[in-house]
């Protein structure tokens, strides 16, 4: 059901992607070597590669589609993170308005659809996102949020503060693979102030960078349920991930709908 109060396509209602995440939980039988995967998927070498042999952790990072893409592989989980991280040390740091959610998601899906068919067998798959939308004040943020949560919460923007709402709305996928997915969303309004902290002694300990950014914030964690037994069907992984992102899009557009 689409919420009639939300003109989803108007630019001022667009979410910005702070971070998009694909998390893959490998099958226990998988011995997966992530070295070189970043280059294989993106088509160029990453800017940095860190291998912590003693901890079995591999991290590869590089620029990708106006943002930064990180591959972090550990024995129990493999994460692909995409966002503006690493670009914020510029002075002044760019605002997150440079990465609209829909645009960022399209780029990120390319990564997912290239990697999942060649990646390891998986027990569990997740799409995570941190989305923000700048607002002028906490009250404005709460008013905006009230539209998204009007089916479940009656917000008092002027007379309240410290509001945080989180919920899981699980769903059962009806076609193959028939699995339960968790649809977690967390809603809040927060203020971010970037500061530069000096490491060298004798220098002013920190300086603020730019004005504080106040924004409405939506965190999504759409994942296949941990109780699913066996490996997820490899041939359906890319489709499955797209479906997880569609569920995330639905929440970002319609808010929390029981």
Q: Is 182 in the site for other proteins (CB under 8 A)?
A: yes
Q: Count other C-beta atoms under 10 Å from residue 58's C-beta.
A: 22
Q: Is 210 in the site for other proteins (CB under 8 A)?
A: no
Q: Which of 104, 30, 19, 29 lies closest to 73 in space, CA to CA?
A: 30
Distance from C-alpha of 63 to C-alpha of 107, rounded to nearest angstrom: 12
Q: Which of residues 126-165 bind other proteins (CB under 8 A)?
A: 126, 128, 130, 138, 161-164
Q: Determine the angle formed by the axes of helices 237-254 and 101-115, rounding to 10 degrees.
A: 170
Token pair recorded at residue 54: 């003693």
Among the residue ranges 100-108, 151-159, 225-233, 248-256, the one whose residues contact other proteins (CB under 8 A):
225-233
Residue-by-residue DSSP string for 11-73: GGG--EEEEEEEEEEE-TT-----TTHHHHHHSS--SEEEEEGGGTEEEEEEEETTEEEEEEE
Q: Which of residues 20-39 bind other proteins (CB under 8 A)?
A: 23, 25, 28-29, 31
Among the residue ranges 103-111, 146-154, 193-201, 235-243, the one whose residues contact other proteins (CB under 8 A):
193-201
- Answer for which of 16, 34, 58, 83 binds other proteins (CB under 8 A) is 83
Distance from C-alpha of 241 to C-alpha of 197, rounded to nearest angstrom: 38
Distance from C-alpha of 38 to C-alpha of 73, rounded to nearest angstrom: 11
Omega of the bond leading into 177 within 30 degrees of 0 (cis): yes
Among the residue ranges 35-43, 147-155, 223-231, 249-257, the one whose residues contact other proteins (CB under 8 A):
223-231
Q: Is 66 in the site for other proteins (CB under 8 A)?
A: no
- Answer for which of 86, 100, 134, 177 binds other proteins (CB under 8 A) is 86
- Answer for which of 5, 226, 235, 246 binds other proteins (CB under 8 A) is 226
126 burial via Cβ count (<10 Å: 0-12, 13-18, 19+): buried
| In the complex, least distance from residue 101 CB atom to other proteins, rounded to whole angstroms | 16
Residues near other proteins (CB under 8 A): 18-19, 23, 25, 28-29, 31, 54-56, 61, 68, 70, 74-77, 79, 81, 83-86, 88-89, 93, 123-124, 126, 128, 130, 138, 161-164, 166, 168, 170, 182, 184, 186, 188-200, 209, 212, 214, 217, 219, 221, 223, 225-227, 229-230
């Amino acid at each position: 059901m689409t919420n009639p109060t939300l003109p989803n396509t108007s630019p001022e209602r667009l979410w910005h992607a702070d971070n998009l995440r694909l998390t893959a939980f490998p099958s226990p039988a998988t011995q997966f070597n992530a070295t070189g995967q970043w280059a294989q998927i993106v088509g160029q070498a990453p800017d940095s590669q860190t291998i912590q042999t003693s901890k079995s952790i591999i991290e590869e990072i590089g620029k990708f589609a106006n943002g930064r893409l990180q591959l972090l592989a550990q024995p129990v989980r493999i994460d692909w993170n995409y966002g503006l991280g690493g670009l914020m040390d510029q002075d002044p740091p760019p605002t997150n308005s440079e990465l609209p959610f829909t645009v960022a998601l399209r780029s990120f899906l390319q990564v997912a659809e290239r990697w999942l068919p060649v990646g390891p067998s998986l027990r569990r798959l997740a799409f995570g996102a941190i989305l923000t939308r700048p607002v002028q004040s906490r009250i404005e943020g709460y008013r905006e949020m009230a539209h998204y949560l009007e089916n479940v919460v009656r917000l008092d923007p002027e007379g309240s503060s410290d509001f945080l709402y989180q919920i899981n709305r699980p769903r059962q996928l009806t076609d193959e693979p028939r699995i339960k997915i968790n649809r977690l969303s967390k809603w809040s309004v927060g203020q971010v102030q970037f500061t530069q902290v000096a490491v060298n002694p004798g220098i002013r300990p920190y300086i603020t960078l730019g004005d504080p950014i106040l924004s409405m914030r939506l965190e999504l964690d759409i994942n296949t349920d941990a109780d699913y037994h066996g490996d997820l069907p490899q041939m359906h992984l890319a489709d499955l991930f797209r479906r997880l992102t569609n569920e995330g899009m639905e929440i970002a557009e319609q808010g929390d709908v029981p």
